[in-house]
Amino acid sequence: MRFSTPEGFTRLITEHAASAGRIRSLRLDFDSWSDDQEEAAIAFAAKMVGLRMVDAPSCARVLVAAFLAHCPGLVAVKMRGTPRGEKRSGREVTLYGDNELPVGGDSGVPFPRKAIALGVARLRYLNLGDARPGVKFGIVLNQSVGRDIQHWSPCFYGFAQPVTADELPCLETLIWPRSVGDEILVRLIATRAPLRRLAFTHLPVHFERILNQFPSIEELSLSNLLDNGVPLVFTALKSCPSLTNLHYLDYRYPSVSYKLISEFVKSKGPDLRVLDYWGGLSTKQVAELIRHAPLLEVISVKNDYSFWNAGDCVSPLSAAFIAEAERLTSICPRLHRVMLEIIRMESAFPIPHLDKSERMYRLCVTLSRRADAPHRLDVAVSGDERDIMSGVFNGFAPPKVRGQMPSEGAPQLGIVRPPKYSSAVGPPCAFRRRPRGKGDE
């Protein structure tokens, strides 16, 4: 269930209180609410015993604490940060021990620390990232992950104490926190986590040591690297034995990075399946690189005006793009997805999914060979992402139950699923966005 306003969620609370136990998933898309709305939500949370996954903003941190304390089936929690420029709202989570009295007041809501820690220990997915849960609540969230955790993104704003679990045998995906000292690093290594996917939002001091300690890493995401750290990174990547997928974001030093990426691909090419370079590669550069990576399946390409049809014929991809895609697949037959980098200033073109508030945007173009003409391609466009963070959360969604309640006051996910069109018949003029309904994104 998904709600774009606190009023929509409050309406669910007042009109469907008896059905609280049937709710399996919840997403809240607002960034502030009143104390009265928060109080009603906390009381309702105690009845949502069937909840399995929640995606909530930082303003609802008290509600997240209530879910952890009262929902034994909760396995996935995602908490988002406050948008830039908006004041942090909502009351704080205060914690008390077995022999302590709960202390709340106007600015805080008390919860037993032990119940919260047990709720966190049951989770299989925890994504905090840039959320602002508060210092004490954030420490408990970071420290209390347990043996079942599979995907973990600790709170970036403070990671002062190491995780308490002796082992993390199921942890496959880790978003590396920014403030990791030697003690925490040693503790993470000691958990013997079988990491397969690792994301860095900065370059840690112990980068090479981390890669050496987790040789099972298959997928790596790197961003916000300083210029002097880029050569060290690509030197280390060449000795990563299991690496097959690389996601690399670099808008500042594309010329330096491309030279190093080229050397990296020549060294690791036979192993690569995904080369996702957010700085953008021209189709000419891609054609040069993929000759060294015969098993490559996904590549990212810098946008070009010639890729799009103008005017009313919003197909949207042009015959020029189709020709380039067919040329690339002739070099690399397994290539079946192209990630297109879109810049906001290009919004005058008929580009689907483009949110004009975003500086950069990406489209996923799926390529499939035609059964009647294998050298020609069918092409489909979507707003799907292919990085480490995308799609994992939804994998914890419970199966849909017949007769499940619709989202009251909730926007439906407005992703456009355009029809495929074939390069053999040329781009059609039938790709148009559906009219937006009330509450749609």
Task: Give me the DSSP letters along 383-429.
Answer: ----SSSSSTGGGGPPPPPTTPPPPTTPPP-----PPPEETTT---S
Confidence of residue 392 (pLDDT cuts 50, 70, 90): confident
Closest to 104 measured CA to CA, from 38, 197, 163 = 38
The mean pLDDT of 397-418, rounded to a whole number, is: 45
Q: What is the pLDDT of residue 106?
A: 67
**Taking residues 96-109, what's their average pLDDT?**
78
Residue-by-residue DSSP string for 109-141: EEEEHHHHHHHHHT-SEEEEET----HHHHHHH
Residues 6+ apart with CB under 8 A from 196: 172, 173, 216, 217, 218, 219
Q: Residue 35's pLDDT band (boundaries 50, 70, 90)?
A: confident
- Give the number of C-alpha atoms closer than 13 A to the C-alpha of residue 437, restricted to the C-beta side: 8
Task: Answer whether residue 251 shows pLDDT above 70.
Answer: no
pLDDT of residue 101: 72
According to the per-residue pLDDT averaged within each range, which of 145-149, 249-253, 392-396 is highest?
145-149
For position 413, what pLDDT does the model report? 27
3-state DSSP assignment of residue 13: helix
pLDDT band for 415, please (50, 70, 90 cuts): very low
Nearest Cα neighbor of 295 from 327, 253, 336, 258 is: 336
Largest CA distance in the chain: 75
Pairing mode of beta strands 377-382, 360-369: antiparallel
What's residue 424's pLDDT?
39
pLDDT at position 412 over 90: no
Domains and CATH numbers, the chain: 1-158 (3.80.10)
Q: Which of 200-209, 278-287, 390-399 is least confident?
A: 390-399
Instruction: Answer whether 313's CB lies under 8 Å from 427's CB.
Output: yes
Weakest-pLDDT range from 37-51, 61-75, 249-263, 293-307: 249-263
Q: Is 218 helix (H, G, I), strand (E, B) or coil?
A: coil
State both tokens at 110: 């008390």
Task: Give me the mean pLDDT over the 95-105 stretch.
Answer: 79
Q: What is the mean pLDDT of residues 387-397?
A: 73
Residue 295 has pLDDT above 90, yes or no: yes
Q: Please, which pLDDT band fits residue 312 given cuts at 50, 70 and 90?
A: low
Least Cα distance to 74 among 42, 14, 118, 41 occurs for 118
Contact between residue 89 and residue 132 where contact means Cβ atoms under 8 Å apart: no
Residue 78 scores a pLDDT above 70: yes
With tokens 């039938």, the residue in question is 430
pLDDT in tens, 262-278: 999 999 999 999 999 87
- State the pLDDT at residue 65: 96
Residues whose CB is less than 8 angstroms from the CB of residue 232 and which lie 6 or more positions away in sequence, other chains included: 207, 208
What pLDDT sits at residue 107? 74
Of 201 and 399, which is predicted with more confidence?
201
The DSSP element (H or E) to which 245 belongs, if any, is strand 245-248
The pair of structure tokens assigned to 172 is 């496959």
Question: Comparing 330 with 223, which gets the higher pLDDT?
Answer: 330
Structure tokens at 121: 């220990």
The stretch 235-263 carries a mean pLDDT of 83
Question: According to DSSP H, which parts of 246-341 are helical?
Answer: 254-268, 283-290, 319-331
CA–CA distance, 41 with 66 (Å, rounded to integer): 9
Among 75, 61, 69, CA closest to 45:
69
Per the omega criterion (within 30 degrees of 0), is the bond before 316 cis? yes
Chain-wide mean pLDDT for the chain?
79
* pLDDT above 70: residue 382: yes
